[in-house]
Each structure stands twice: as C-alpha cells, then as structure tokens.
A and B are shown apart, each in its own frame.
Chain A
C-alpha cells in the first residue's frame, strides 16, 4: 500500500540527530514493549509480514508522530484483540476476565537463548527456474497494491540490473494476508541514482533493493 511507511525520497524531516552513548532502550516501558512483542510471537505465530502490514496501516498522521516502540504497542494491541486473545475491555483494564484461548506456543525463559539464536531461513524450494540472471536488465512494474508490498514507491517503473539471485523466498505480498508463503524468486537489483531520481541526482549514487519476481518485468526493447 502507498502508506506513510514508504518514506524513501521524501523530504522535510530535518537533520539526523545521532545520540552519543545511546542506550538500547530510552524508557522502562520500551524494554517491556520490546520483550512482550518478541515473546507473544510464540503465542500467535504470525508472520513478520503481517506485523509489518499492521504498522503500515496506522493512519499517516499518527504513524509519523509515533516513536518506534509506540507503533509496536499499537500493533501488538491489535494482535491480541483481533484474533480474540483478549477483549478490548480486558486490555483497557489490564486484567483477565475471560479464560484464555488456545495459543500456538509459549516462550519460556529457558527457551529464550535458543529462540534468539535460531535461524529461520526464508528460502523455499522453487517451483520453476529463476526468470532472470545476474547482469540482466529488468524493469520494476508500476503497481500500487492496496495490501502489503515490499516494492517501495520510489523504485517502481525503473530499470535496474540483477546483481544477485537471493533464492526463492517467502513472498510478503501473500504471506502478510494469510494467503500462504507463495514463494517467488527474489533478486538484488541495482539502480543508478539518476535512473531513480533524474539527472540532478548524484552521478556517483546507486541503490540496491531486494525484489521478488512478481515486481519485475522485461524492460521495453531498446
């Protein structure tokens, strides 16, 4: 979706302000929020794609005015209430009234070290050979899906070069919506800065993105 999260190329946000000796968390509630989000993943077992889409759907004014962990909070509250893990009233009270529903699993303290260090590859067996090869020119499609996509607006309808074939990977556009992993080939595509931003762009700039085959087409013959 063309949401407030799709920030590449926007202007006016001002200078970047790195913080010296920045702490990992800036408030006690951020610590708890981070850990709750992580731990609840064992209970609801939702793909990260669905979670990203939940963030994208936060209305633009609130999205841009919320800190990172405030967005996590808004998203986790929805993850709890929408499937019925708890009611709105229970959430408001911070107290359980109804019995819990079946959860996928529970992350115990003794499981954390393993859960943190375990790799969950996103590559899947391919149903067909990759359509494009390293060095080949491709064009991104001019698409504006209303659901989740990982093709940013600034990289649509542009020509780039395949730099790496990442493998056949879980397709977020399907997986975020409960339509299955629907794996597709994923490629690292390199674009010249002047291709993306026009002739005023820094000629020494190039930008690479990891993009799935359904985002791509053969460029017009030249």
Chain B
C-alpha cells in the first residue's frame, strides 16, 4: 500500500525542519506569519504582550493534566462523578477549568458495555480547558475521516483492543458541545487517592483512543 504523503502530520514535520535555522532559512509560511504579526502589532490591532501570554498559557497551564484532575476526582468521589455526568460544564468549572472551547461540556462514561470516542469530522473541535490544544493526529484527515466509520481500526492502531461485544459510541462534535471521556478506573488502585490516580489518566484515555495506565505502567 502506498504510504500517505499528504497528511497534516508530515506537513508539520516538514515545516519544522525549515524552522530549525530561524532567521536565514525561514519557510514561506513562517515569513508570512512574521509579516502578519508585524503588521497587526504596528497597526495596534494586537498587543504583543497578549501574544506571549497566550502562548505560555496553552504551552504550560492548559493541558491534559486539567482533565486528569477531573477524572481522578470522579473516580474517588461518587457525588462528584454524578454531578460531572449530569452537568459537565459546572462540575468541571468547580475545579477551575472553564472557558474557550469548553463553553458546554458533556462527559461520557466508559463502561464494560460501552466505549466512547471523540472526534470532530468537520474541523477539529476539542475541549481546550480540560485537554489543551489538540495533538496533530486528532486534526489529521486520517482520524477525522475514519473515526465515525471504523473506530475499531483506529483503536487497533493505538494498541487498544476491546472485546467484540463492547459497543463503541463515537461523538462527532458538530455543535459547541465539547466532549470528555470518563475512562474506567484501572484495577489494582482500590485504595489510591486522587493525587495518586491523576498520573494514570492519559490524554488519549480522555479522547477515547487510549486507556488509563495500569499501576505497574505508571511506575515505569
């Protein structure tokens, strides 16, 4: 089979190489962005200080560790779990996570009977306040095209095998509702508290393309 040549992942790598030697070998794209930034700043439409704070916010403050706190709390506090499934937006906001691309949150719970997976086939909608900005594969044509027709093949590529009788529910984010998967708590963690559980909760387990780490995986 011919390898895919045009997915967004490879394109990003390509751009990345060009940017290693910034200043002398900038790609056309990088030059266009630089021109746009200079112009918008010079005209006073954007504040350079805001740009730097935005970058820092999404690189260091808003990411999947937020979602992991939500999941670990739900695993240890039955009343929080109930609230989270009934009103995801408010329950998540109570832990301090709210805002852009998380205006209406719905949390879907994995069970032995049903596995949930999240996609946005039309663009790349993703619950930023709890997971941060989406990974390249989530935005790729491969994932967006296949998640709704053959999610089991995607799970296989991620190393996840579910029993054939487990129902798979895919949530296509076509409106402003953003989804978060509440994965099943791993076995062997019965006496673990929230702080110890949170590192088991991977980003992919909250998208539905992965499972949480097992206790022995977390020790490695």
CB contact between B34 and one of A7, A94, A169 (< 8 Å): that residue: A94
The answer to whether B45 and A150 have CB atoms under 8 Å apart is no
Contacts of A204 in B (CB 8 A): 164-168
CB contact between B46 and one of A5, A40, A67 (< 8 Å): that residue: A40
Contacts of B75 in A (CB 8 A): none
Q: Is B40 an interface residue (CB 8 A)?
A: yes
The answer to whether A39 and B9 have CB atoms under 8 Å apart is no
**CB interface residues, B 6-42, toward A, < 8 Å:** 6-9, 11-13, 15-16, 18-19, 22, 26-27, 29-30, 32-40, 42
Report how far A201 CA is from B18 CA in the complex, Å: 43
Q: Is B47 an interface residue (CB 8 A)?
A: yes
Report how far A120 CA is from B129 CA in the complex, Å: 13
Shortest distance from the beta carbon of B33 to any chain A beta carbon, whole Å: 4
CB contact between B58 and one of A11, A24, A151, A152 (< 8 Å): that residue: A24
CB contact between B102 and one of A55, A119, A123 (< 8 Å): that residue: A119
Chain A interface, number of residues (Cβ within 8 angstroms) = 99
Contacts of B76 in A (CB 8 A): none
Contact indicator per residue, chain B 154-189, by CB within 8 Å of chain A (1) or not (0): 100110000011111111111111000000000000
Q: Is A32 an interface residue (CB 8 A)?
A: yes
The answer to whether B141 and A13 have CB atoms under 8 Å apart is yes
Report how far A123 CA is from B166 CA in the complex, Å: 34
Report how far A22 CA is from B34 CA in the complex, Å: 24
Q: Is B51 an interface residue (CB 8 A)?
A: yes
The answer to whether B99 and A73 have CB atoms under 8 Å apart is no
Q: Is A136 an interface residue (CB 8 A)?
A: no
Q: Is A90 an interface residue (CB 8 A)?
A: yes
The answer to whether A24 and B99 have CB atoms under 8 Å apart is no
Q: Is B98 an interface residue (CB 8 A)?
A: yes
**CB interface residues, A 92-110, toward B, < 8 Å:** 92-96, 100, 103, 106-110
Contacts of B139 in A (CB 8 A): 68
Contacts of A179 in B (CB 8 A): none
Report how far A110 CA is from B47 CA in the complex, Å: 10
Shortest distance from the beta carbon of A65 to any chain B beta carbon, whole Å: 5
CB contact between A19 and one of B34, B137, B158, B164 (< 8 Å): that residue: B137
The answer to whether A197 and B149 have CB atoms under 8 Å apart is yes
Report how far A10 CA is from B33 CA in the complex, Å: 31
The answer to whether B16 and A109 have CB atoms under 8 Å apart is no
Report how far A18 CA is from B143 CA in the complex, Å: 10
**CB interface residues, B 194-218, toward A, < 8 Å:** 204, 209
Contact indicator per residue, chain A 6-43, by CB within 8 Å of chain B (1) or not (0): 11111101111111001011111111111110111001
The answer to whether B57 and A113 have CB atoms under 8 Å apart is yes
The answer to whether B19 and A29 have CB atoms under 8 Å apart is yes
The answer to whether A22 and B36 have CB atoms under 8 Å apart is no
- List 8 other contacts, CB 8 Å, given A7-B122, A100-B44, A103-B44: A8-B147, A36-B36, A40-B45, A66-B8, A86-B40, A94-B34, A188-B106, A205-B151
Give 12 A-B contacts (CB < 8 Å), ordered by A residue.
A7-B145, A8-B172, A16-B143, A26-B15, A68-B12, A80-B39, A119-B102, A121-B103, A170-B176, A193-B149, A202-B150, A205-B170
Question: B-contacting residues of A (Cβ < 8 Å)?
Answer: 5-11, 13-19, 22, 24-36, 38-40, 43, 52, 55, 64-68, 70, 73, 76-77, 80, 85-86, 90-96, 100, 103, 106-113, 115-123, 150-152, 154-155, 164, 166, 169-170, 172, 186, 188, 190, 193, 196-197, 201-202, 204-212
Counting from the closest, the 6 A-B pairs by CB-CB distance are A94-B35, A109-B49, A14-B4, A210-B175, A8-B121, A29-B30
Question: A-contacting residues of B (Cβ < 8 Å)?
Answer: 1, 3-4, 6-9, 11-13, 15-16, 18-19, 22, 26-27, 29-30, 32-40, 42-47, 49-55, 57-59, 62-63, 89, 93, 98-100, 102-104, 106, 121-124, 129, 132-133, 135-137, 139-152, 154, 157-158, 164-177, 204, 209
